[in-house]
Structure 1
Amino acid sequence: MRKRRLRRLAAAGVGAAAAAVATGLVVERRTVRARKAGAAGADRLGGLRSEEIRVKVGDEVTLHAEVDEVAPYDTGASSARGPVTPTKHRPGEATLVFVHGYALNLDCWHFQREHFRGRRRIVLYDQRSHGRSDRSPREEATIDQLGRDLKVVLDELVPSGPVVLVGHSMGGMTIMALAEQHPELFGDRVIGVALLSTTAGRLRPHRIISAHIPDLIGGSIGNRLIAGLARAPQLVDSARRRGSNIGFLVTDKLAFGDDVPSSYVEFVDEMLAGTPFEVLAEFFPNFESHDRFAVLAAFEKVPTTIMCGTKDLLTGIGQSRKMAERIPGARLVEATGAGHMMIMERAGKVNETLMGLVADAERRATASRAS
């Protein structure tokens, strides 16, 4: 009886997933054309660049990284005036290390990079198998490995001085993996942490495929469906090609909560479509197994800000509330109406929040050294 019931539930789950896909396929093209008509400005997004740095994190993998040095003290130069002249940052000032999420790349931090450029030293990098970094061996496509990669990035690009870590989505999970592996860094080298649109675990990733798949079988259905599609990645990537109507609509629905400029949707859709489906399939199982609530204790040692949009469909606001409850002193900031790409959708609020975190972290670190 139990097996028959599970089979019926599985069939219902698959049917729900298929129905969700079919619903997307029948959306009229004119809806997409109307949204794309105002896509001016997409070229500007992701246009900030610094010299490429290659960071070797394994025998087979090197990561693409970029460092924006601070501007000279007496010029007040900003990103709006073009490239800044490298110089050493003031003693006690933190380097900000930005860690991006699943299927994105370092360009997703465009508005944060624009805001902090010339104000603080910034390190950004593409996670393994993402952006311009090398493809990872399948067995190393894990959150644990991403934590080890972050440690190498810190050792190579921020060998001394205080650090504030900023992680979005899978980037937040990466920071948690680092905290699990090297808790001694927090309160010493790492003086502040921002966890944006992320989770410490108990995520139900099958809900990304369809909200109607029962949780009892969701993990099995989700993983099997993704694994099955990964057997024909070229076909899937063809359907996900840049500029496709379905890609645009799915990105708009899953990434944003409110109406945003269509250039934002195009920009995120391009990053998603540029990530091979094989990479998505390799990392997907991590999200169900990720459980690092016990690790959150490491963040008690430093100012920690948790921020999420109230309309985030991927790592919902409830996830952030749970994390905030488990980190004494953590600051929870809820972005009303924003979706998963809050870092773009509420860039001003995110930047203001990060500025407050950095100031608090540096103030506390200075006081700690003085005592």
Structure 2
Amino acid sequence: MDVRNRRRIGIAGAVAGVGAAGIGAAVGLRRLAVGRVRLRPDPDADEPFGELRGKELTVRASDGLELHVEVDGPDDADLTVVFCHGYCLNRDSWHYQRRDLRGRLRMVFWDQRSHGRSGRSDPANATIEQTGEDLHAVLEAAAPTGPVILAGHSMGGMSIMALADARPELFGPRVVGVALVNTSCGDLAEMTLGLPLVLAKVVRPLAPRTLRGLGRRADLVDRARGLGADLAFVVTRKMAFADKHVSPTVVDFLEQMIRATPIDVIAEFYPALIVHDKVGSLEALGRVPALVLVGGQDRLTPPAHGRRVAGALPDAELVEVDEAGHVLPLEYPGVVTGGLRRLIDRVRPGCLEPGRVEDEEERTA
């Protein structure tokens, strides 16, 4: 295969990894000066992304798959927050929250099946229902007692909904709060990825077939993805972020997580996301205080989806950041961390370390 064809496959893989259905979103983006963006002053250039670590734990899922879990904080803490990451990402996507909430709080981070350091799933089990069961296994192993807050970004929020749908009895007695970030309870087949509606209607039906085709050539695609590195950077920045001043280091970090997710894993999970429907879980979620965070420019889970979730929960705080995209934990980390602090105070006032009450929401990236 010649270099041109390998590059074409690499670009296709990069685009698929960013938005799954966002094939074609890179049209016209080459005019952006990637090099100039990367050379801007970057306050996050020395941030130790991917280096924060805790006590490692291997949890066996209901189908026997090994899930990678890390526990950060004292075992005798009287509150645990379990963080569930999004599609194509891993536990390190919660970097800023992990850094800034360290203290008396106990935190659990885990890699969803087939992501990060967790085992590779049977494709038949690449479903949101199974990730909900995985979350239950993580809870049983890493936080077997005491009150728990569940925090989920994107697919991680869907995993929380799947748990609530399958095991509603946990919400109230064990799960005392939920934080749902850039997520949806259903109707994702309607998303436009920022494309004009007419074009989106053409692209959507092609995406599953395109991803399945890429998945069948996984080894070739994954080898070639690196050839489109600059374009992958631009597409990631365009599709995932809305803040034009977002740190280039943060964009690179996100793109590396996406690129580390094999293309066949992306293909396996995509159909589950599109048919996701957990409206029925909102009754159980509504039993506990909730935080719902929405990006006003989110192309993957549009803001209307978050508003719908918040509107169905009687004790929900809705935070919408107009100039934000799909990765609020990295794009506006202070907003997410500040919201989590407020949720923690709502379910257990005074649980944070003395002196850690400053408003972090002025930090934007």
Shorter-chain TM-score: which interval? 0.7 to 0.9
Report the Cα distance in structure 1 between the residues aligned to 2:223 and 2:82, rounded to whole angstroms.
Answer: 34
Conservation of the 8 A alpha-carbon contact between 1:242 and 1:270: no
Q: 1:49 aligns with which of 29, 53, 76?
A: 53
SS at match of 1:96: strand
Aligned residue runs from structure 1 range 35-74, under 5 A: 35-38=37-40, 41=45, 44-70=48-74
Among 277, 280, 283, the alignment partner of 2:263 is 277
User: 1:12-23 to 2 correspondence within 5 Å?
Assistant: 20-23=25-28
Structure 2 unaligned residues grouped into runs of 5+: 1-20, 351-365
1:143 to 105, 128, 133: 128
Match of 2:35 in 1: 33
Q: Provide the secondary structure at the position in 1 that maps to 2:82.
A: strand
**Structure 1 CA distance for aligned equivalents of residues 107 and 115 of structure 2:** 19
Is residue 357 of structure 1 aligned with residue 359 of structure 2? no
- 2:240 corresponds, among 245, 255, 258, to 255
Deviation at 1:363, TM superposition (A): 4.9
Whole-Å Cα distance in 2 between the matches of residues 63 and 209 of structure 1?
A: 34
Q: State the alpha-carbon separation in 1 of the partners of residues 46 and 164 from structure 2.
A: 36
Aligned pairs for 1:222-301 (under 5 A) are: 222-241=207-226, 244-259=229-244, 260-301=246-287
Determine if contact 2:23/2:203 at 8 Å carries over to the other structure: no
Contact 2:295 2:320 in 1 (8 A): yes
> What root-mean-square deviation, in Å, do the aligned CA atoms of Structure 1 and Structure 2 show?
2.5
Specify which of 297, 305, 316 is matched with residue 291 of structure 2. 305
CA shift at 1:296, angstroms?
A: 0.5
2:318 corresponds to: 332
Task: Determine the structure 2 residue equivalent to 1:102.
Answer: 87
Paired amino acid for 1:149: D
Give the TM-score taking structure 1 as reference length: 0.82
The 10-residue stretch of structure 1 (40-49 or 130-139) with the greater mean CA deviation from structure 2: 40-49
| Residue 126 (structure 2) pairs with residue 171 (structure 1) | no
Check 1:104–1:19 CA distance in 2 against 1; reply closer, same or farther (3 A cut).
Answer: closer
Q: Is the 8 A contact 2:285 2:313 kept in 1?
A: yes
Find the partner of 2:146 among 149, 161, 176: 161
Normalised by the length of structure 2, the TM-score is 0.83
Letter in 2 for 1:88: D
Q: Bigger CA drift: 208-217 or 272-281?
A: 208-217
Q: Supply the distance in 1 between the matched residues of 2:137 and 2:208 (Cα, whole angstroms).
A: 30
Q: 1:152 aligns with which of 137, 151, 154?
A: 137
Secondary structure of 1:244 counterpart: helix
Equivalence for 1:78: none
Name which structure has the greater RCO, CA cutoff 8 Å, separation 6+: 2
Letter in 2 for 1:45: F
